[in-house]
């Protein structure tokens, strides 16, 4: 008989990082967490991007079921997709020449996940599916440190004012931008109208 277990909601447990408000820019100090990551380039929504997302979620859900069903450690909700964005010529990022964008897509993993478990999950997904991006995945720690963030509600192409507010907050705090533009996608865009999309806009600072 399977023993039921409570489901951990990491978005709520880590709400200071995954549930900011939309009215005011907030300062956070993001600790080291571990992620399954993949690097790529090109426009969001393009083929390379789609393959990366498919590989990330396939491995993340395989890890979730390993933890719950085989190890009986816990149950948890798979965390949302996150993206680090930049361009070799940052003017291409500002003018939204999306085909020249570079990105790292990633999904946070609970502390109980190990490198060995990640390797097992990769192997299992590889046996079931032929995913073009699977072998480009990595399992690494990532520490963002001090950052400013706000919640944007609406389509991705309307993020400009929210990004400007974050940058202005950093400037007025006598800090400087560092690292990469960070977005956390809280909405399944397949099931919601763009006007309701919820995205965390985050910018590291020093």
Stretches in the chain below the pLDDT threshold 50:
1-2
pTM of the full structure: 0.94
- How far apart CA 141 and CA 134 sit, in angstroms, is 19
Angle, helices 47-65 vs 115-128, to 10°: value is: 120
CA torsion, ordered 191, 103, 126, 119, to nearest 10 deg:
-110
pLDDT of residue 1: 41
- How far apart CA 112 and CA 100 sit, in angstroms, is 37
- How far apart CA 187 and CA 143 sit, in angstroms, is 24
pLDDT of residue 4: 58
Per the document, the length of the chain is: 206
Three-state secondary structure call for residue 90: helix
103 forms bridges with which residues in the sheet? 40, 85
pLDDT, tens digit, for every residue of 87-132?
887 767 767 788 889 999 999 999 999 999 999 999 999 999 999 9
Nearest to 35 by CA among 102, 86, 82: 82
């Amino acid at each position: 008989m399977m023993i039921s277990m409570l489901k951990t909601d990491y978005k709520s447990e880590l709400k200071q990082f995954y549930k900011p408000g939309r009215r005011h820019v907030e300062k956070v100090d993001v600790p080291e967490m571990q992620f399954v990551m993949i690097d790529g380039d090109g426009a969001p929504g393009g083929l390379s991007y789609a393959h990366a997302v498919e590989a990330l979620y396939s491995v993340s859900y395989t890890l979730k079921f390993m933890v719950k069903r085989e190890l009986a450690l816990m149950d948890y909700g798979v965390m949302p997709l996150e993206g680090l964005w930049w361009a070799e010529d940052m003017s291409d990022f500002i003018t939204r020449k999306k085909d020249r964008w570079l990105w790292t897509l990633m999904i946070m993993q609970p502390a109980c996940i190990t490198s060995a478990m990640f390797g097992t999950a990769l192997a299992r997904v590889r046996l079931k599916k032929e995913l073009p991006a699977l072998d480009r995945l990595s399992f690494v720690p990532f520490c963002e440190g001090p950052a400013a963030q706000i919640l944007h509600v609406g389509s991705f192409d309307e993020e400009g004012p929210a990004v400007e507010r974050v940058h202005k907050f950093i400037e007025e705090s006598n800090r400087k931008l560092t690292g990469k533009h960070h977005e956390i996608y809280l909405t399944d865009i397949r099931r919601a109208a763009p006007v309701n999309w919820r995205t965390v806009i985050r910018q590291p600072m020093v």
